[in-house]
Structure 1
Amino acid sequence: MKKLLLLIVLFITATLQAQEISYGVKAGLNLSYLRIKDNVLVDSKMKSGFHIGGVGEMKVSKLFAIETQLLYSQQNSVLEIKLSAFRQSDSRGSEPVFEEDLEIDYQLGYLNLPILAKIYIIDGFNVFLGPQFCFLVSDKENYDFKNFDYGFMGGLGYQLNSGLFFSANYYYGSSDISNQKIGIKQEVIQISVGYML
């Protein structure tokens, strides 16, 4: 973990020393989802949140750039445990043990650091892809989640000559965020608006 953080700091430092660099801010909507591995009794519902933070872009050429972001991201979700599926047998036949399902509302806050390769296609349109590192900074209900997550982000953007930009991206978590190793991974859709200074 310490080596990874050192590499990230060195990368950001090198980016900031580049000559053709621009800074900006962005904010927007999150639609988050927890992906559960091979569990028919647990389902996840998408829930909304928000993200806000800064953007730094190093222009390598007219068509290619490297972009870093540092965002606070509220990644919420609802897990539905299908308790009504549990049944017991007695003289009257099979009846559910529980009458209702259980819903658990997760409200997680992350500090996200994506490092993106960005290609400008035409007239301000761009595509981007790269790894994202996520550090858990708040867990409202103190559920047993790991402090670190990583995965990949990809998306589309459009930037006006004025500096105003819009983007939509998708994050696919690669690691199990549960300390109980039950196979919970994150997926997040982000819709953003921002401004490059």
Structure 2
Amino acid sequence: MKSIVLTLLFVVTTTLSFSQEVSYGVRAGFNISNLDFTPDATFSNQHRNGFAFGGFVDYGITENFSTYLEIQYSAEGAKADDLRADYLQMPIMARFAIGEKFTLGVGPMVSLKTWKDQDAFSTFTFSGVGGVEYMINDELFIDARVHYGLSNILDEDISGLEAQNTTFQFGFGIKI
């Protein structure tokens, strides 16, 4: 057991020591989200406009590759009050620099439900996230992302109906 812990500690220390750069910052965004139902919903299902905000850390592994971890609050779901889904989310992305200004990222995201009074939604959901970032200067950036739901966000008690959340997010941020 000691050797496993020491090996993991060595790997983490070595990886972080080779890091080119570690940057922190804050980010805010505008969401356009909707629920995709299976089978198709027999009721009106309109998209919801919402917002997202949070903080991030970006670990530079090489000059052109980094890992990105973010904690964000995000208002998602559909327009109807009983179909709104607000989450605390953690996207983890592998990011690849394309030139000096653009970065592409892709990875998984786990979301935790942030309200108690709507029991129809699952507590945890999983999504895939991908996006592009443009650096305006050394600190300011804009980005665009898409989150595609991989799990049913509805609680299993709802008979025969599944829903995945799809969100387009347009954001801006500052590296501190």
User: For this structure pair, what is the TM-score category when the shorter chain's length is used for normalisation?
Assistant: 0.7 to 0.9
1:131-150 matches, cutoff 5 A: 131-138=108-115, 142-150=118-126
2:103 aligned partner? 126
Amino acid at match of 1:111: L
Query: Is the 1:36–1:44 contact (alpha carbons within 8 Å) kept by the matching residues of 2?
Result: no
Q: How many residue pairs get matched?
A: 159
1:182 is the counterpart of 2:161: yes
Q: Which runs of 5+ in 1 are unaligned?
A: 1-9, 80-103
Q: Which has the larger radius of gyration?
A: 1
- Which whole-Å CA distance do the structure 2 matches of 1:25 and 1:39 have between them? 38
Q: Which of 143, 146, 149 is the equivalent residue of 1:170? A: 146
1:85 aligned partner? none
Runs of 4 or more off by more than 2 Å in structure 1?
A: 17-20, 104-108
1:114 aligned partner? 91
Amino acid at match of 1:78: K
- Which whole-Å CA distance do the structure 2 matches of 1:162 and 1:122 have between them? 14
Amino acid at match of 1:192: G
How far did 1:44 drift?
2.1
Calculate percent identity across the aligned residue pairs.
28
Query: Is the 2:57–2:69 contact (alpha carbons within 8 Å) kept by the matching residues of 1?
Result: yes
Q: Superposition RMSD on alpha carbons, in Å?
A: 2.1
- Which whole-Å CA distance do the structure 2 matches of 1:128 and 1:44 have between them? 30
- Tell which deviates more after alignment, 149-158 or 35-44: 35-44
Q: What's the TM-score, normalizing by structure 2?
A: 0.82
How far did 1:43 drift?
4.4
- Tell which deviates more after alignment, 40-49 or 187-196: 40-49
- Which whole-Å CA distance do the structure 1 matches of 2:66 and 2:147 have between them? 20
Q: Which of the pair is proportionally richer in strand? A: 1
